[in-house]
Amino acid sequence: MESTPQNLLCFFFFFLLHRTTASSPPPLFPKQALPTRSGYLPVNPTTNSAIYYTFYEAQTPISPLSQTPLLIWLQGGPGCSSMIGNFFELGPWRVNFHKHPSEPLALEPNSGSWNRIFGLVFLDNPIGTGFSIAAKPEEIPTDQFGVAKHLFAAITKFVELDPAFKSRRIYITGESYAGKYVPAIGYYILKRNAELSESKRVNLGGVAIGDGLTDPVIQVATHAANTYFSGLINERQKSELEELQVAAVRLIKARNWREATNGRNRVLRRLQNMTGLATLYDYTKNADYETSLVGELLSHKEVKKALGVSNVSIVFEECSDLVGDVLHADVMKSVKYMVEFLVKNSKVLLYQGQYDLRDGVFSTEAWVKTMKWEGIQKFLSADRNVWKLGGETAGYVQKWGSLSQVAVSGAGHLLPTDQPLRAQAMIEDWVLDKGLFANVHEAI
């Protein structure tokens, strides 16, 4: 059949339309990636200061929904946004950080998301962090009591958003400097609950700390030995680092808090220079974590609008220098006593990636064995059980009573990024007391 001019014209427009449609890039923020709820939780009744949150309901809730646990995630820093945890680590959609540099930025589903069977809340904490609002710099907390007071107000407001939230157990989780935030809010909740009527209490189920800075006076003194026995420095370098560590500890004991933080920073800088590592967060990596992709994602006004950010003109910072400076003198103060209180009155999970040189397994064990808790000797005597997942060794679990510690294989500081399925299985089993976390009878 011969082609007519009309047929050729129709074919041309069909080809053009098909080519345009096929080459159109996918939306930067697909509708499926939208949180269930997002917005602001006020922390001060007299100002506009508020904590920004995103909430993702469980993909497959435990039946009934009123019994489905809620996880709250806090990023570290101090001053780093929990949107890093959301879009780089454990949220239902993550930036495509494995992409080639020439490929466009996009969101992709995360099979290791922590909202598979639990509700999941990300809080930008403290105010002034991420999309959270500090009405004035003076309102940014300067210590863990101030942090916890704001978090308690925000969590209380969140629970009030839906009557069904009231009966759901809440588990506070977080990593790195949240090794102080998490115990602080857990401790605060238990203390406040004792003063409140049952209807106003926060239904705390437990706390989980990942690669946390919790007891700095002990942890700062572990870097030299940890790095030496990892085969990364020699004995002379170990001695040099030990001198810097002793100086930092001396400043802590003198309660010279700001200088003590500077002392720790000197230890970490020297360690970085000695090893030449791409990052102390994972000594196996040849490049640092590409968390800047989260900042790139959240720089787009349409993304901010989709996430319910009140001022789409705000410039998103992964980590706030202002908040970091305000809390600078707080960094080297210990919250170990809060963990001791929590392990006696709740349950505690401490987990670390085995490749983390900053706040990893060795660092955590050093302070854990000094805990004042009647069960500590039983815990230290307990077996470290091999944890298998999918036929592979996923890590090692040590548990006694209300305290659990997990060393996760093949992971660094941002553990859910490195091993999403292992992190997901760990948090689910711990919350539900399953597998190696099962509550078997343990005689004291």
| Residue indicated by tokens 């004035």 | 136
Closest CA to 408 of 367, 436, 438: 436
- φ, ψ for residue 51 (rounded to 5)? -95, 130
Instruction: Judge whether 66 counts as a catalytic residue.
Output: no
Instruction: Judge whether 98 counts as a catalytic residue.
Output: no
Instruction: Judge whether 418 counts as a catalytic residue.
Output: no
| Residue indicated by tokens 């925000």 | 154
Task: Tell me which DSSP letter residue 386 carries.
Answer: E
Q: What is the C-alpha R_g of the chain? A: 24
Burial class (CB in 10 A: 0-12, 13-18, 19+), 28: middle
Say whether 188 sits in a helix, a strand or coil: helix
Closest CA to 118 of 179, 154, 42, 172: 172
Of these residues, 215, 356, 359, 429, which one is catalytic?
356
Of these residues, 150, 223, 328, 413, which one is catalytic?
413
Say whether 271 sits in a helix, a strand or coil: helix
One-character DSSP codes across 34-63? --SEEEEEES-TTS--EEEEEEE--SSPPS
Alpha-carbon span 336 to 183, nearest angstrom? 8
Q: Which residues face 122 on adjacent strands? A: 54, 73
Q: Is the dihedral of CA 268, 273, 274, 275 positive or negative?
A: positive
Of these residues, 49, 81, 82, 176, which one is catalytic?
176
Length of the chain in terms of residues written: 444
144 and 182 Cβ atoms separated by less than 8 Å: no
Q: Which residues face 331 on adjacent strands? A: none
Annotated active-site positions, please?
Answer: 176, 356, 413
